[in-house]
């Protein structure tokens, strides 16, 4: 993807943004032991400097393929994932670079360009659940569905819809460190497919998961979900 540097807050401004959004970020500050993966797909660990987060939904636009994650996950432009070499050694090859990111009171979202990823890119959540569309804020209000998160630390966790203001939503899950940027979705019957809700931002003071809704952001940024196959 062509690099287009987005507006983002520095470390000093970050504390202000966190306070204004009433959010406790769940991106970690230290990389530990992570599950290695042969694929870059929604739900796996990604690293930016010493920050670790979760890869979100796979998207496509005029400039190529990317993955979504939280804007506050940006520490360095280079993004890496963890895998095993041919000899079984744990390595962290580069899989992309931040193409666009925002970390403001109104938007916490990023796109990592992965056209040159050293790992194959798959759009299915954890390589198993195809994503067939998006869920709007209106859908959430009308359906009040169970919402699920695939986080690199928490794994697959689900909880009841709580609230939405049209651009963000809360649901009854308490994320853990490293889950930031992870895909939040609504499963179809029997979990055969999913509709994308958004990207995890963090934990609210009342202990719920806070989500950036992506349906309006995809249109604004000229992106679409990458289809399976």
Q: What is the CA radius of gyration of the chain?
A: 16
CA distance 138 to 159: 19
Predicted structure pTM score: 0.86
What are the domain boundaries of the chain? Answer: 11-122+219-225, 131-216
227, two tokens: 């289809």
Q: What is the pLDDT of residues 166-220, one digit of tens each?
A: 999 999 999 998 999 999 999 987 778 999 999 999 999 999 999 999 999 999 9
CA distance 183 to 196: 7
pLDDT at 159: 97
Q: Is residue 50 exposed (0-12), middle (13-18) or buried (19+ Cβ within 10 Å)?
A: exposed
CATH T-level assignment (fold) for domain 131-216: Thrombin, subunit H (2.40.10)
pLDDT at 58: 97
Mean pLDDT of the chain: 85
Q: Do domains 11-122+219-225 and 131-216 have the same CATH topology?
A: yes
**Per-residue confidence band for 1, with pLDDT thresholds at 50, 70 and 90:** low
Cβ(151)–Cβ(126) below 8 Å: no
**CATH fit for domain 11-122+219-225, picks 1.10.287.130, 3.50.50.60, 2.40.10.10, 3.30.565.10:** 2.40.10.10
- Helix, strand, or coil (residue 20): helix
DSSP secondary structure of 60-80:
EETTEEEEEE-GGG-SSSEEE
Q: What is the pLDDT of residues 111-163, one digit of tens each?
A: 999 999 999 999 999 889 999 999 999 999 999 999 999 999 999 999 999 99
CA angle, 129 then 117 then 72, to 5°: 75
């Amino acid at each position: 993807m062509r690099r287009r540097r987005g507006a983002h807050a520095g470390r000093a401004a970050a504390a202000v943004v966190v306070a204004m959004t009433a959010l406790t970020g769940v991106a970690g500050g230290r990389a530990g032991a992570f599950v290695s993966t042969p694929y870059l797909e929604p739900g796996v660990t990604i690293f930016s400097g010493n920050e670790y987060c979760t890869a979100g939904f796979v998207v496509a636009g005029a400039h190529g393929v990317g993955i979504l994650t939280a804007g506050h996950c940006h520490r360095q432009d280079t993004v890496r994932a963890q895998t095993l070499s041919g000899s079984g050694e744990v390595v962290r090859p580069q899989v992309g670079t931040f193409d666009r990111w925002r970390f403001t009171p109104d938007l916490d979202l990023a796109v990592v360009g992965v056209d040159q990823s050293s790992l194959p890119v798959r759009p299915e959540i954890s390589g198993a659940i195809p994503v067939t569309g998006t869920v709007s804020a209106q859908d959430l209000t009308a359906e009040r569905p169970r919402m699920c998160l695939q986080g690199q630390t928490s794994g697959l966790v689900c909880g009841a819809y709580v609230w939405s203001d049209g651009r963000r939503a809360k649901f009854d899950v308490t994320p853990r460190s490293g889950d930031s940027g992870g895909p939040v979705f609504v499963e179809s019957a029997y979990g055969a497919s999913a509709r994308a809700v958004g990207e995890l931002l963090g934990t609210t003071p009342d202990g719920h998961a806070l989500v950036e809704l992506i349906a309006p952001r995809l249109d604004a940024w000229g992106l679409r979900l990458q289809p399976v196959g």
